[in-house]
Amino acid sequence: MQSKYKHEVLRKIIAKIPFFIIALIPGVAKSSAFAFDIIGTLSYTQQLLMHIGPMLSALLFVIAGIFYALGQLLPPDKRASFHTASINIIIGAIVVAVLAVASNSLALASTQLLSNISVNSIANSIR
């Protein structure tokens, strides 16, 4: 029972590691979700995804391979758990890769949408 508890605690700690890494990157604090300049924040996030996304995706693929290899050394019940974790990590790597590739067009579309909304709201408030 204690090993299951330790496993859950370790899983929760590992899940929070990316947030701590992002917090250590310079410039994230000034362009966080609390920024008032939404378009600037989106631009910064797009640049961040373009630079870090491919490296993070490759790193996730390597970590998934390590999880799968370690799972092969364990008994069947643990092997299934490690196999599931590796598949989930691979899915995450694919999502990160797709977001990194599409970040430019997503940022452009959202910037146009936000600028149209802000222009329309200003025009409506003047009338």
Low-confidence stretches of the chain (pLDDT beneath 70): 1-7, 9-10, 12-36, 115-127
Residue 83, pLDDT score: 94
Residue 117: per-residue pLDDT: 61
Domain count, the chain: 1
Distances (CA, A) of 125 to 54, 59, 116, 118: 43, 49, 14, 11
pLDDT at 59: 93
Domain range for residue 99?
29-126
- Asked whether residue 116 is assigned to any structural domain, the reply reads yes
Establish if 73 belongs to a structural domain: yes
Yes or no: say if 82 and 74 are a contact pair by the CB < 8 Å rule: yes
Whether residue 6 lies inside any domain: the answer is no
pTM of the model: 0.55
Q: How far apart are CA 8 and CA 113, in angstroms?
A: 42
Any domain includes 96: yes
Q: For residue 25, what pLDDT is reported?
A: 57
Q: Say if 20 falls within a structural domain.
A: no
DSSP state of 32: S
Asked if residue 93 belongs to a domain, the reply is yes
What's the pLDDT score for residue 127?
Answer: 57
d(CA 12, CA 34) in angstroms, rounded, equals 25
- Residue at 113 is within a domain: yes
Q: How open is the CA angle 91-113-27, to the nearest 5 degrees?
A: 60
Distance, CA of 12 to CA of 84 (rounded, Å): 16
**Does a structural domain hold residue 110?**
yes
